[in-house]
A and B are shown apart, each in its own frame.
Chain A
Amino acid sequence: MSEAVDHPYRERRGVLRGLWASRKGRGLIYQVLLFSVLLLLILILVSNAFYNMEQRGLKAGFGFLNRTAGFGIVQSLVSYEETSTYGRAFVVALLNTILVASIGVVLATMLGFVIGVMRLSPNWMIARIATIYVETFRNIPLLLQILFWYVAILKPLPAPIDLFQQGESFFLSFNNRGLVFATPLPQAGFSLVLWALSLAVLASIAWSWYARRRQLQKGDQLPVLWPCLAGIVGLPFAVFLLLGLPLDFVPPVMARFTYEGGSTVVIEFFALLWALVIYTAAFIADIVRAGIQGIPYGQSEAAYSLGLKRTQTLKLVTIPQALRIIIPPLTSQYLNLTKNSSLAAAIAYPDLVSVFAGTALSQTGRAIEIMFMTLSVYLSLSLLTSLAMNIYQRRTQLVER
């Protein structure tokens, strides 16, 4: 009798209760709740921002990107004039950020690995030097380091005016304005040099492939690195000479106060890059050291007892295994370096933050749009980096039972 009453009731409550009871279901419910709360928060923020803008008579929108920026940028990878648009300024600034971050990541990784391996050297002096390096540079605030390299080391370099007479032209100079060099202008026939270069690269690839095959079949190890380097440098150079140097240079010329013409990589770039590399390499070195030490010493002993040298053991046995410990914290160092490059604003290197979120923002007052764009750029750069590193990480996973 009670069954008839009970049954439909239980049916109705069953779905939710069942969800709540299962661990997966409960997780789902939490996630839905969390997502709704986040969405609500964002909605409130956005509508609040729009309300404020309306009150002040501002219209939201990205139309301002097509307006003339009217300010100069000291370094640009793509052509840029004061008459260019804000959109163009955004691209220039973005490229400047990517330039310093990507070169920085590569150099910091190389330096970090070298210092990390040095810390484990059986040579007391070498290990000590590496330890002092790490402990010094990771314990001083990055902003101070950037200012130090900029103000104390690079800015005191001689000015162009101290180096050259008025009217004098020069080919290459590293002075307190940066790296100043004659702009190369390709002449007729220069494309042949580029062809020669491509040919040399192709030949090198073929040579390494052949050397690998020889190793597979006969066992002798043919030299690869030096012949390839010689070919890639030598062949285009020979063609270049034969054609009678088909490249003109437009050198910078000293004017009354400073030089004119030529090309410049600004000194702020070097200060920022140098500081980012030195600072991040200290962290990477420690990550590499910990990674290598995380591999049981028996692995090295087994390699040594087979006759492998110390460098071969590191390259073939220890580091490949250490990578799976190293990669996750290494990724966050890459992200840190990229984000830290925004400290460029302190020395006015024209990166995204100082040009776009700085100058462009104060001129247009488009806080919401500009902040949104800038934040999205850093977020996307970080997510892309993480994605790439995750893919690489998967390749280093060990196969277990």
Chain B
Amino acid sequence: MSAPNLSVPILEVDDLVKHFPVQTGIVLKRTVGHVRAVDGVSFALHKGETLGVVGESGCGKSTLAQVLMRLEPPTSGRVRFHGEDVFAKRGRELQALRRSIQIVLQDPYTSLNPRMTVGDIVGEPFDIHPDVAPKGERRKKVQDLLDVVGLNPEHINRYPHQFSGGQRQRIGIARALALKPEVIICDEPVSALDVSIQAQVMNLLDELQREFGLSYLFIAHDLSVVRHLSDRVAVMYLGKIVEIGTEEEIYGRPSHPYTQALLSAVPVPDPAVRAARARIRLTGDVPSPVNPPSGCRFRTRCWKATEICEVEEPELVTRGAGHHPSACHHAEEQTLLPST
């Protein structure tokens, strides 16, 4: 792995909140509640670092990405990029910011416009930021980008449907690289790909990070994929980060019951360890983000819950020296995976 510089935060997220109104009525819309998709999230992303974000469906990962990209306005909270308030930026400054933070999306089948050629798709960012590539140099630049992501530069005039899923994901990555960003937010970039193709794209992301010193916010539900690529990992549950730490801390000695349950549920591709594994099986479903439980949001499924969990929301803090931040009143490190 590349060696990230943990003393230089590029992106600082501070108590970020995004609520979506729940409305009823057709003519007269009435707001009857809010989906608390992201509900007070804080973290820092450093230069050259990959911060993984894991969590189950609906926990707010994509919403977090959308707000960071300024595709959705935040409800509250602050985000600083190189120390400057992201949400205060307008006009030119906003454009410059948009160059620096790019996104790669999950679905290589729908995130590319089927009527545009690969050249148009990868080169489109240059239309918005013409200063990066003057007209005459465009074609050459796009071909260089295709080459960087391992696509044949001669295929510049082909359409997305003429490529496989893995190749389409490469097109999306080439496009994200066009404006030489510092941060790339990857929202499930390999989830839709076949196993034999996932590794190709993961290796590519890894190489690009080393070559260009990129920082990644790497969102995925697959804990194995996240472990492989991340330096640090944040675990989300119902709009909140419940535990954050280095890859070794989260996978080797998780202290939040939810993280522990997640890790014990991930299948390990080795039948020799199956009998020896700790099994924590959660019951019930994730509660609705419209009415999350009081106190600790995980308490309705937690086997360690006590009275305090119902009345007091646990903060994401370090409890004792040598530990990493965990939002649990009864945080206790435990080793769950067989080898490590």
Partners in one complex: no
Interface residues of A (CB under 8 A from B): none
Interface residues of B (CB under 8 A from A): none
